[in-house]
Amino acid sequence: MAKVLLVEARFYDHLNDMLLAGARRAVEKAGHSHETITVPGALEVPGAIALAVETAQYDAYVALGVVIRGETYHFEIVSNESARGVMALTMDGIAIGNGILTTEDEAQAIRRADPEQLDKGGGAAEAALAMLELRRRLG
């Protein structure tokens, strides 16, 4: 059994609730355990995962959050840099599923976050578990 850490950027409560529900359901369905930690925003997710990796308590990680385009360049910075940070950790061999949504508006975010629609939280958890399995197989 694997222990999975769900790292959520808790900025939009109602959207994160859906992402977490999907991720938790996927991890539990696969027969694994999970814990959740919360960080202020998507930019902090990769750093939190890096800190957790140092503890060697977890086998896989799921990055969760929502970034909705606004009127400023901040959207691009948060979207690009959070994805870059998660990818850097992935390239270091860490099993991560990236469920940080980057959308144009709230309606797109709801569709993607809702476990009964696109279930991107569940998909991110499944990706993390697939990468864990691959690492174990190749390891």
Contact 99, 82 (CB under 8 A): no
Residue 86, annotated ligand binder? no
Structure tokens at 60: 């896989």
Length of the chain: 139
| Residue 71 scores a pLDDT above 90 | no
Indicate the pLDDT class of residue 75, thresholds 50, 70 and 90.
very high
CATH topology of domain 8-134: Rossmann fold (3.40.50)
With H, G, I as helix, E, B as strand and everything else as coil, classify residue 48: helix
Residue 139 — pLDDT band, cuts 50, 70, 90?
A: confident
84-122 pLDDT tens trace: 999 999 999 999 999 999 999 999 999 999 999 999 999
Average pLDDT over residues 9-15: 94
Residue pair 65/46 in contact (Cβ under 8 Å)? The answer is no
71 is in an annotated binding site: yes
Catalytic site includes residue 74: yes
d(CA 2, CA 80): 29
**What is the per-residue pLDDT for 137?**
96
List phi, psi (to 5°) of 95.
Answer: -80, 105
Q: Flag whether 49 is marked binding.
A: no
Q: Whole-model pTM?
A: 0.97
67 is in an annotated binding site: yes
Contacts of 3 (CB under 8 A, 6+ apart): 32, 33, 34, 35, 57, 58, 59
